[in-house]
Amino acid sequence: MSQKAGATKAHTRGWTGSIVRELKRSHLYLLPVLWAAFNIFCVYWIVVSSLKTSREVFRDPGGLPASPQFKNFVEIWNVAHLGVELRNSILITAASVLLILILCAPAAYVLSRIPFKGSNWLIILFVAGAGVPGAMLIIPLFSIMRDLRLMDTLHGLILIYATVSIPFSMFVLTGFFRTLPSEFQEAARIDGCSEFGVFWRVMLPLASPGLITVAIFNFVAIWNEYYLALVFIQDPAKMPLARGIYSIAGSMIYTGNWVGLFAAVVIVMVPSIIVYMLLSERLIEGITAGALK
């Protein structure tokens, strides 16, 4: 009996000790939990407000709508021409992300897997571009776009997005390519693969988690970006969704259609949420794979 009582007491002490340790570490989770709760509340409030009438938005900001007003989405879609802006956003985002991967993947492979004099300095130069404030790029980009006659064009905006996204993309991809096993590279060369064949057939498929990670981050950033679009796009027929939301928000002074604004924000949020939900596991896999290797 004494042995059994001693084992029970030891088990109790161990269980109590684990609880105490978790309580001591609870402050580490407090800030992320509060930040997640704040973001969830914001999304909830925007979605619920988009289904209310204008009177309900001001009378009961936090409550549920008496009757969901799905017509708010139809009205703002037709009035603000969101169909055209959605098409522009899809085209701009898809082309920009594809161009980023086409430019950065081969460059990151060469800089990280094929040593040559000055390669480390080139990597530092690429990554240093991430430290340049965005406001300092406006005037040089404006001058370049004007001289190239790419102002107020979709392909001009695509080039801008791809250019400003290169530093972050190179930082992630060079780090990921460095973690890949060199045995595969050497075996492919022994089998007679050219350097491009090694990259295309062997190393690029192995780096797919890193490519997906870069693609998701750039997709979310470009899809929601409006500052550069505000400067370089003035034609309403070429505006992306985020730029269109800015115009809708400015018109609220005269129309007061706040439920329409909330509905438009929901339309902008949905693609990012869907992409993240579908590819979140691959995103986490890409981040952790690069870190663990």
Is residue 115 domain-shared with residue 211, that is, in the same domain?
A: yes
Is residue 160 domain-shared with residue 94, that is, in the same domain?
A: yes
Q: What is the CATH number of the domain that holds 208?
A: 1.10.3720.10
Listed residue (223, 227, 97) closest to 165, CA to CA: 97
Residues 61, 55: Cα–Cα separation, whole Å:
10
Mean pLDDT of each 10-residue bin along the chain, 293 residues long: 49 55 66 86 89 85 83 86 89 95 92 83 84 85 91 93 92 87 82 84 86 89 89 88 81 76 87 78 60 45
Residue 62 resides in a domain: no
Is residue 259 within 8 Å of residue 54, measured between CB atoms? Answer: yes
Residue 139 resides in a domain: yes
Residue 66 resides in a domain: no
Residues 205, 288: Cα–Cα separation, whole Å:
17
Is residue 90 domain-shared with residue 233, that is, in the same domain?
A: yes
Is residue 176 domain-shared with residue 104, that is, in the same domain?
A: yes
Is residue 27 domain-shared with residue 163, that is, in the same domain?
A: no
Is residue 131 domain-shared with residue 98, that is, in the same domain?
A: yes
Is residue 41 domain-shared with residue 161, that is, in the same domain?
A: no
Which pLDDT score is estimated for 39? Answer: 86
Is residue 212 domain-shared with residue 271, that is, in the same domain?
A: yes
Which pLDDT score is estimated for 95? Answer: 96
Residue 88 resides in a domain: yes
Residue 144 resides in a domain: yes
Q: 71-76 — which CB contacts under 8 Å span 24+ positions?
A: 72/259, 72/260, 72/262, 72/263, 73/263, 73/266, 73/267, 75/260, 75/263, 76/248, 76/257, 76/260, 76/261, 76/263, 76/264, 76/267
Which pLDDT score is estimated for 292? Answer: 45
Is residue 93 domain-shared with residue 224, that is, in the same domain?
A: yes
Residue 235 resides in a domain: yes
Domain count, the chain: 2
Is residue 24 domain-shared with residue 83, that is, in the same domain?
A: no
By residue range, what is the domain housing residue 18? 2-50
Is residue 27 domain-shared with residue 98, that is, in the same domain?
A: no
